[in-house]
Amino acid sequence: MMGRGLLGIEDLDRDDIELILDTAQHMKEVGEREVKKVPTLRGRTIINLFFESSTRTRTSFEIAGKRLSADVVNFSPSSSSLSKSESILDTAKTLDAMDPDAVVVRHQVAGVPKRIADVLDAPVINAGDGAHEHPTQALLDLMTVVENKGRVDGLTVTIVGDIAHSRVARSNVYAFTKMGAEVRVAGPPTMMPVEVESLGVKAFTSLREALDGADVVMALRIQRERLSGSMLPSVREYNATFGIDRAKMRFAKDDAIVMHPGPVNRGVELSHDLTDDRPSVILDQVRNGVAMRMAVLYLLAGRKRSRNEEAS
Ligand code: NCD
C-alpha cells in the first residue's frame, strides 16, 4: 500500500484507506489514556518540514510523533530564503543525510513533496502542497464522519466554497468517492475547477440544491493567498450566497453535520454559532487529526527500520 510515503489520496485504494482508518481507531485509544504515550517509534526520527504556515497540521504531527515516542524535529525555513526548487532539493538531501525515518512536508507549490520524495530514502508524508492534496486532512475527515454517522458508504457529502484552490477539497473528493459517498461541490463559478465533474462529483452553483438531502456539509476556507482579485466576490456577497448558517442548514438532512478543516473565517464561510456548536464537529476533526497522524506515522515511519532489518 501507500508506496514509499503518502503523497495523495489519489494513490490509495479502498483497502489502504480502511487499514489507515482502523489503525487510527487504535491510536485514538492511546490518546484517551492517562499516559498518552506508547514506545512504538522509540529511536525513530521524524522531521516536520513546513515551508508554509500551519497551526493544526504541524502541531498535530508533532504531538502524534511524540505520543509514539519518536524524536520529532521541526524545521520551518522561511519560504523567502528557500523559494527556489533547487535549494529545496538541497535542503532535502541535507535532511536525508541525517537519516530520518519519515519526513512530513508542507509547501505552497503543488508537487514539491513528490520532488522531495524522489530524492529521499525516507518516506515522505504530504501535509498540504499548494492546491493539490492534503491527504491526512481527508483521512481525518473520513474518520470524523465514520464516528458521527457510522459509515461513509451511501452518504451525501456537500463540499462548499473555494473548490478550485483547495487541496482539502481535492483530497476529500478522492477520499469520499472512493469510500462510496455521493460527493457534491458547490461554490461561485470562479472558484470551481474546470471539468470538476470528471472527478466523479456533481457540481452546483445553487447552494440550496447542493444542500438538499445532504448528510455532511463541509465548508472550506476562502483561500485568499491563492486567489487573484477578480475571483473573489465581496466577502459579504460570498457570505450571503455560500456562507453556511443554521437557516441554510434546513435544506440539508435534519441530522446533518457541519465540518471545516480550519482555520475558519468566522462569519464568512461559517456563521459564528455554527463554528462553535453542534451540528458542527470541527473540534472532533482536530482531535482525530492527532490519532490519524499517529496512524500514518506508525504505518510509514515504523516500516523503514524493518526493511533495513530484513536487509541485514
Ligand atoms: C487547511 C490547509 O492548510 O490546507 N488547513 C488545515 O490543514 N487545517 C485548510 C486551509 O488552509 O483552508
| pLDDT tens digits along 21-39 | 999 999 999 999 999 999 9
| pLDDT tens digits along 274-312 | 999 999 999 999 999 999 999 999 999 987 544 444 443
Domain extent listing, the chain: 5-134+287-307, 135-281
d(CA 127, CA 261): 13
- pTM of the complete model: 0.93
| pLDDT tens digits along 242-259 | 999 999 999 999 999 999
* Grid cell of 193 as nine digits: 475547477
Fold annotation for 5-134+287-307 = Rossmann fold (3.40.50)
Residue 227 CA, ligand 1 centroid: distance in Å: 15
Question: Which residues' Cβ are closer than 6 Å to ligand 1?
Answer: 56-57, 128, 134, 137, 167-168, 221, 261-262
Residue 222 CA, ligand 1 centroid: distance in Å: 10
Crossing angle for the helix pair 167-178 and 14-31, nearest 10 degrees?
110
Residue 308 CA, ligand 1 centroid: distance in Å: 35
* Grid cell of 108 as nine digits: 505552497
Domains 5-134+287-307 and 135-281 share a fold: yes
| pLDDT tens digits along 138-172 | 999 999 999 999 999 999 999 999 999 999 999 99
Confirm if 188 and 227 have CB atoms less than 8 A apart. Answer: no
| pLDDT tens digits along 200-232 | 999 999 999 999 999 999 999 987 766 666 656
Fold annotation for 135-281 = Rossmann fold (3.40.50)
